[in-house]
Structure 1
């Protein structure tokens, strides 16, 4: 039964302070909830309308420790969606792991990407291109922010996102470190390695000065028109697409 106490508890998880305290976060909507039930994440509560729960298999529903049948208005009160006729999952944060760059693959580093929507979009883009690891500066938006989770459309279940001090991470890197810079070489003329690190910077300031010495391969997306800049999510998609060009 969905009580007022539980609704208050679920709503508290919209704030980072309580997410970290409880080590839990919200996943909302049919797509995200279904994805998390198919993943290795642990689900504490599954809230759903009867219609939505009927679309799930018994195996999927058994992944949740507790299943609560709700009305759409209950879901709206417990979560961030104004309208939600599907469900909400309350999910355990994964255990913290040691941070080290994965070799023999392409990884992303995000330097102070503040907008939750941008971070969620980048995670979804990374998933599209098969990127498994994203390393974020400590100032980057919280991956468990509901806006981030919603923007990933379930891709957070397949892409590892870790937070750390980026400077020592890059200083120990023995692979090419690509950085999107206005002073870089055209990405269309650059020989790109399948193994390395791609650094994307802050929405307005770009890559921070302290990381510039570690950029071994500055790259640029050449402009053809008059726009001042590209959204960091769009720029990430363009950059990654070039790494996988035939």
Structure 2
């Protein structure tokens, strides 16, 4: 059973301010929680249905997680969490502070400017994980990495992609590698010589890349359109651009 104090903490962690204050965030659903077991994240508490505990007993024992488990009903978990379905398990986890990375040879680093929608950020991290991108750098006004909607949308990729928030102008101003940026007026990506070691900047759907960050873009690129759609979702555009770089 989830106590009143435990429920209060779980609900508080929906707030960025409380996540920062407590240094904790929530992970929900079997897929996302399972990704924690072999990650660098520290699990503080697990709330799970009897069915989940029975089905995953061996795995939980192997990772020494049994002492952290509190049995709860699906209705309790639904009330505590933010998911409409997949309410068999919820974990309280310690936040990690990822340092801003130095770029390695043959590495692509994804840079996100003003991507404020949590669903878009989570999907971008999932796409980044698919293409082997290990580091994603966000502007301070991007959605918070530990937002429950971001974590849910990653479908487990949050455990494999390092996400840091920093001033992008200060960060990009120190780089010697090429900085590609997605612009409507950019050069056709199909006709551009792409580097295997570079930064790829994506902006918000509504505002694009800000002028301040755009000043550090060395190569403006665009995805050519062959139909009548006015624009692409930023997560979809990120996938297309990463596919071209990887090819």
Common topology (TM > 0.5): yes
Within a 5 Å distance, the mapping from 1:59-208 to structure 2 comes to 59=61, 62-63=64-65, 66-94=68-96, 96-104=97-105, 105-208=107-210
Partner of residue 42, structure 2: 42
Deviation at 1:64, TM superposition (A): 6.8
Aligned length: 244
What RMSD in Å do the two structures reach over aligned CA positions? 1.4
TM-score by length of 1: 0.95
In the alignment, is the contact (CA less than 8 A) between 2:101 and 2:135 conserved in 1? Answer: no
Deviation at 1:97, TM superposition (A): 4.3
Q: Deviations over 1:142-194 (max 9, x none)?
A: 01000000000010000000000000111111111100011211000111111
SS at match of 2:190: coil
| Separation in 1, partners of 2:200, 2:228 | 26
**Which blocks of at least 5 consecutive residues in structure 1 are unaligned?**
none
| Separation in 2, partners of 1:178, 1:60 | 44
SS at match of 1:91: strand
In the alignment, is the contact (CA less than 8 A) between 2:49 and 2:73 conserved in 1? Answer: yes
| Separation in 2, partners of 1:97, 1:219 | 29
TM-score by length of 2: 0.95
SS at match of 1:226: coil
Partner of residue 23, structure 1: 23
| Separation in 2, partners of 1:101, 1:199 | 16
Q: Deviations over 1:100-148 (max 9, x none)?
A: 4322210100000010000000000000000000000000000100000
Q: Which runs of 4+ in 1 moved over 4 A?
A: none
SS at match of 1:182: strand
In the alignment, is the contact (CA less than 8 A) between 1:12 and 1:18 conserved in 2? Answer: yes
| Separation in 2, partners of 1:198, 1:44 | 35
Q: Aligned in 2, Cα 1:12/1:128: closer, same or farther, shift over 3 Å?
A: same
**Which blocks of at least 5 consecutive residues in structure 2 are unaligned?**
none
In the alignment, is the contact (CA less than 8 A) between 1:108 and 1:133 conserved in 2? Answer: yes
| Separation in 2, partners of 1:46, 1:97 | 24
